[in-house]
């Protein structure tokens, strides 16, 4: 490890030029957060972090948001990170504060989100003695973090925080936990400034791709008869959207996004075939199966994307895979041309080589490929009963929302379940970082805190949370935080009275045995919203959907909870059943 101290960061006590300032660990933490340009911090106090809270009290550059549950602190910071690209920061106390935060940390880890989570710990001398509110934070979080630290000496604190931020945002991003015992936050040392840079000998993420491999990839792409570009969350995480779009424009190839990549390529562009995978479109999945050259960009061949691997392997195709994490490559699917590197750097080089090359894609083959694709697309696999005037179709709510906000500066968060899939299918995301949801862990409860975190950072933007009556109850207490910090969001609850995604699986895979998926007792959400100081709306008829959304949207400064009573029997289609290949899709209830 090499460190450079910032000359300007050498803080001196006033009146004693040159001599370092005496600071408590808690104050060093605040200085570090300031040096990292942290503007918001979501947290919840407790004994082990009281010195830290005291230090926060004495400063005014970082806004602390007091959530109502530590899980929501981590989700809110995570949502903020997803929307802005900055590192999200959360602060919790020891013991139950940490265990409550675990779901949030695991959620961020599975989707590679840059975060630093500061956790309080019992004093160093008490560690291991079953002290009050002690838990082994490093042990508990080890499998769900990119890295974690227990700071045993206040002299290591500044450097540890520097490492934590560096690790969180570099390479494949991820959450980093910094566990700070109470005595470390209390102890004073002469503080000589925050390190300006850091380099870790055993950690050197590769950014630049191998030139030879990139050339090989280009040759394959230009010789392809049925090429396909499959992109994922890595394009958003690596801020490579302009490069991806330029490449697709030059090549004219069809493109698909994973659930995590929506917005990386404009959904309204003709070259976009929709999301692929378990609930992807027929055309996106068929193209995945039938292509002869596949360019995977920042996507990790998730099991929800490739379906049954044996079926996926039936068709021969050459696979090029760009990913910053070598362990993502050939993990589930064997890759022919691996390119380890940052997606933006690699695409920039690929584009430069393409521009220099006199060769262009085979126009005839490409036209034939597009004809095949248009044949699949003409099946209109996302059709649903649009004219139904008796009951609200959930897809209709999302379509209406999209029509209303398509040109607006809007963010859409979601929870987990059927409503999440309908939002992904029917809201056409044209811009990056506008679709914020939990893909890898699939955590119910994220939607409301995500929206809250985003609204704080983007007060001028419209923020919608598409949720289900099941999911929203998992972090419903945050309605109180929304009031306190004046973060007016619009909650669109697609209330089907069921844990709908579970009910759908029980209908299709368990012969209709609906074991514990119906919620017999639900709160009156309108009154609940009102009790929290917000506006509640109940919408029961299809003709009221649009006026209700308009009314809610006009209430710019209020949080509005919209309880849409939707068709309880509606299922998400297309669907690939467990164990099936990605082209073996159910397109509607007639296929059941
Ligand atoms: C109910 C439910 C249903 C779902 N159904 C579907 C579905 O139908 N279709 C679907 O697609 N998903 C679905 N998912 C989500 C799925 O579980 C996975 O989360 C998702 O497919 C993973 O997306 P990804 O491959 O883009 O990977 P991410 O998890 O976004 O990973 C990003 C990849 O990019 C790499 N990367 C990061 N930064 C960079 C960089 N700078 N340069 C290069 N590489 C980088 C990482 O190493 C990683 O390999 C569903 C989830 C739920 C909860
Ligand atoms: C914390 C958590 N527990 C359980 C699950 C499993 N699960 C996935 S979807 C779902 C149902 C969600 O119900 P609801 O929020 O009402 O959404 P709907 O599917 O009805 O749209 C459940 C229980 C989960 N993803 N997360
Ligand atoms: Mg439901």
- CATH number of the domain that 361 lies in? 3.40.50.1220
Domain boundary among 328, 345, 377: 377
Position 4 scores a pLDDT of 47
Q: Determine, yes or no, domain membership for 298.
A: yes
Tens of pLDDT along the chain (592 residues) come to 444 444 333 333 344 566 789 999 999 999 999 999 999 999 999 999 999 999 999 999 999 999 999 999 999 999 999 999 999 999 999 999 999 999 999 999 999 999 999 999 999 999 999 999 999 999 999 999 999 999 999 999 999 999 999 999 999 999 999 999 999 999 999 999 999 999 899 999 999 999 999 999 999 999 999 999 999 999 999 999 999 999 999 999 999 999 999 999 999 999 999 999 999 999 999 999 999 999 999 999 999 999 999 999 999 999 999 999 999 999 999 999 999 999 999 999 999 999 999 999 999 999 999 999 999 999 999 999 988 889 999 999 999 999 999 999 999 999 999 999 999 999 999 999 999 999 999 999 999 999 999 999 999 999 999 999 999 999 999 999 999 999 999 999 999 999 999 999 999 999 999 999 999 999 999 999 999 999 999 999 999 999 999 999 999 999 999 999 999 999 999 999 999 999 999 999 989 8
Distance of CA 421 from the midpoint of ligand 3 (Å): 12
Q: Is the CB of 323 under 6 A from ligand 1?
A: yes
Please name the residue whose Cα sits nearest to atom 49 of ligand 1.
300
At residue 189, φ and ψ (nearest 5 deg) are -140, 165
**Can you give the residue range of the structural domain that contains 463?**
394-572
Instruction: Point out the catalytic residue in the list 70, 462, 469, 478.
Output: 70
Residue 325: CB within 6 Å of ligand 1? yes
Interhelix angle 545-554/394-405, rounded to 10 degrees, is 40
pTM over the 0.85 mark:
yes
User: Strand 272-275 relative to strand 255-257: parallel, antiparallel, unpaired?
Assistant: parallel
Q: Domain for residue 476, yes or no? A: yes
Q: How many residues does the chain have?
A: 592
| Position 139 in a domain | yes
Which ligand is nearest the CA of 395, by number? 2
Ligand at shortest distance from the CA of 422: 2
Atom of ligand 1 nearest to the CA of 258: 11
Contact 1, 204 (CB under 8 A): no
Are residues 220 and 321 both part of a single domain?
yes
Residue nearest ligand 1's atom 29 by CA: 111
> Do 454 and 530 have their domain in common?
yes
CB of residue 93 inside a 6 A radius of ligand 2: no
Domain shared by 257 and 185, yes or no: no
Report the CATH number that the domain containing residue 461 is assigned in CATH: 3.40.50.970
**Is 584 a member of any domain?**
no
Which residue's CA is the closest to the ligand 2 atom numbered 9? 417
Q: Does residue 123 sit in the same domain as residue 254? A: no
In a domain, 586, yes or no: no
Predicted pLDDT of residue 16:
56
Report which bound ligand comes closest to the CA of 275: 1
Q: Give the list of residues 6+ apart from residue 130 with CB closer than 8 angstroms, or none.
A: none
248 in a structural domain: yes
Q: Six-digit token pair at 562? A: 């919209």
Q: What are phi and psi of 310, to 5 degrees?
A: -65, -40
Q: Do both 373 and 400 map to the same domain?
A: no
Residue to mutate, 502, 506, 575, ligand 2, most ligand atoms under 8 Å from C-beta: 502
Cα of 518 vs centre of ligand 3, distance in Å, is 9
Residue 134 alpha carbon to ligand 1 centre in Å:
35
What's the pLDDT at 592? 85
277 and 335 both lie in a single domain: yes
Predicted pLDDT of residue 18 = 65
Q: Are 413 and 451 in contact (CB under 8 A)?
A: yes
Query: Any idea which residue has 């514990």 for tokens?
Result: 516
169 pocket-lining for ligand 1 (C-beta < 6 Å): no
Q: Please indicate, yes or no, whether residues 161 and 242 belong to a single structural domain of this protein.
A: no
- At residue 17, the pLDDT reads 60
Do 366 and 477 have their domain in common? no
Q: Which of 1, 4, 132, 383 is catalytic?
A: 132
Cα separation, 137 vs 140, in Å, equals 5
Task: Mark whether 549 and 428 lie in a shared domain.
Answer: yes
Radius of gyration of the chain (CA): 25
The number of domains in the chain is 3
562 flagged as catalytic: no
133 is catalytic: yes
Residues 123, 26, 15, CA angle at the centre, nearest 5°? Answer: 135
- State the DSSP string of 261-301: GTTSS-TTSTTEEEE-STT--HHHHHHHHH-SEEEEES---
Q: Which of 106, 444, 525 most suits a substitution to test ligand 2, by most atoms within 8 Å of the C-beta?
A: 444
278: Cβ below 6 Å to ligand 1?
yes
Residue 504 forms part of a structural domain: yes
**Is 186 annotated in the active site?**
no
Same domain, residue pair 425 and 566: yes
- Is 494 touching ligand 2 by the criterion CB < 6 Å? yes
| 419 C-beta closer than 6 A to ligand 2 | yes
pLDDT of residue 20: 83
Could you say which of 161, 191, 221 is where a domain stops?
A: 191
Q: Would you say the CB of residue 582 lies under 6 angstroms from ligand 2?
A: no
- Pick the atom of ligand 2 nearest to 420's CA: 21
As a whole number of angstroms, the distance between CA 283 and CA 271 comes to: 11
Domain check: are 72 and 107 in the same one? yes
Helix, strand, coil distribution of the chain in percent, nearest 5: 40, 20, 40
Residues 170 and 274 in one domain: no
Ligand nearest to the CA of 104: 2
Give the integer Cα–Cα distance in Å for 325 and 173.
Answer: 10
C-alpha of residue 298 to centroid of ligand 1, in Å: 8
What pLDDT was estimated at residue 388? Answer: 81
d(CA 502, ligand 2 centre) in Å = 7
Of the residues 501, 562, 575, 585, only one is catalytic, namely 501
CA pair distance 318, 302, nearest whole angstrom: 18
Residue 11: inside a domain: no
Residue 70 bears catalytic tag:
yes
182 part of the active site:
yes
């Amino acid at each position: 490890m090499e460190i450079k101290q910032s000359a300007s960061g050498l803080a001196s006590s006033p009146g004693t030029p040159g001599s370092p300032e005496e600071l408590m660990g808690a104050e060093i933490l605040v200085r570090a957060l300031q040096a990292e340009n942290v503007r918001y911090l979501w947290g919840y106090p407790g004994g082990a972090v009281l010195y830290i809270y005291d230090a926060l009290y004495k400063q005014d550059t970082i806004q602390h948001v007091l959530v109502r549950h530590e899980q929501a602190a981590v989700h809110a910071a995570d949502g903020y990170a997803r929307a802005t690209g900055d590192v999200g920061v959360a602060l919790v106390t020891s013991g139950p504060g940490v265990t409550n935060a675990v779901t949030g940390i695991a959620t961020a880890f599975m989707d590679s989100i840059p975060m630093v989570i500061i956790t309080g710990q019992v004093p160093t001398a008490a560690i291991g003695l079953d002290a009050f509110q002690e838990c082994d934070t490093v042990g508990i979080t080890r499998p769900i973090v990119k890295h974690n630290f227990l700071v045993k000496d206040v002299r290591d604190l500044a450097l540890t925080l520097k490492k934590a931020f560096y690790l969180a945002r570099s390479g494949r991003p991820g959450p980093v936990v910094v566990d700070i015992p109470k005595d470390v936050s209390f102890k004073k040392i002469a503080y000589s400034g925050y390190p300006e840079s850091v380099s870790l000998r055993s950690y050197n993420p590769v950014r630049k791709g191998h030139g030879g491999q990139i050339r090989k990839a280009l040759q394959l792409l230009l010789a392809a008869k049925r090429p396909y570009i499959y992109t994922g969350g890595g394009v958003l995480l690596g801020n490579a959207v302009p490069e991806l779009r330029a490449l697709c424009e030059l090549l004219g190839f069809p493109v698909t996004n994973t659930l995590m990549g929506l917005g990386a390529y404009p959904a309204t562009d003709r070259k976009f075939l929709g999301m692929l995978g378990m609930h992807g479109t027929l055309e996106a999945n068929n193209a995945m199966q039938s292509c002869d050259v596949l360019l995977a960009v920042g996507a990790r061949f998730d099991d929800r994307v490739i379906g049954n691997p044996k079926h996926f392997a039936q068709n021969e195709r050459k696979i090029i895979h760009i990913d910053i994490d070598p362990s993502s490559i050939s993990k589930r699917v064997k890759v022919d041309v691996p390119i380890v590197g940052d997606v933006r750097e690699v695409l920039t080089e690929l584009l430069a080589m393409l521009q220099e090359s006199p060769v262009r894609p085979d126009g005839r083959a490409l036209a034939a490929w597009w004809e095949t694709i248009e044949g699949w697309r003409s099946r209109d696999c996302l059709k649903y009963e649009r004219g139904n005037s008796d009951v609200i179709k959930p897809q209709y709510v999302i379509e209406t929302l999209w029509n209303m906000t398509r040109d607006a500066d809007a963010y859409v968060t979601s929870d987990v379940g059927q409503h999440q899939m309908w939002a992904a299918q029917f809201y056409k995301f044209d811009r990056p970082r506008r679709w914020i949801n939990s893909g890898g862990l699939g955590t119910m409860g994220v939607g409301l805190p995500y929206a809250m975190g985003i609204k704080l950072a983007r007060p001028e933007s419209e923020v919608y949370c598409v949720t289900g009556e099941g999911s929203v109850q998992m972090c419903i207490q945050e309605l109180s935080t929304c009031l306190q910090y004046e973060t007016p969001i619009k909650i669109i609850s697609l209330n089907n009275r069921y844990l709908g995604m579970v009910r759908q699986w029980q209908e299709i895979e368990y012969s209709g045995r609906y074991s514990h998926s119906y919620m017999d007792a639900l709160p009156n959400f309108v009154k609940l919203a009102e009790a929290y100081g917000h506006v509640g709306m109940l919408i029961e008829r299809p003709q009221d959907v649009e006026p209700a959304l308009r009314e809610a949207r006009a209430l710019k400064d209020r949080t509005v909870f919209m309880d849409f009573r939707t068709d309880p029997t509606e299922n998400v289609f297309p669907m690939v059943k467990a164990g099936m290949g990605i082209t073996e899709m159910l397109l509607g209830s007639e296929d059941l």
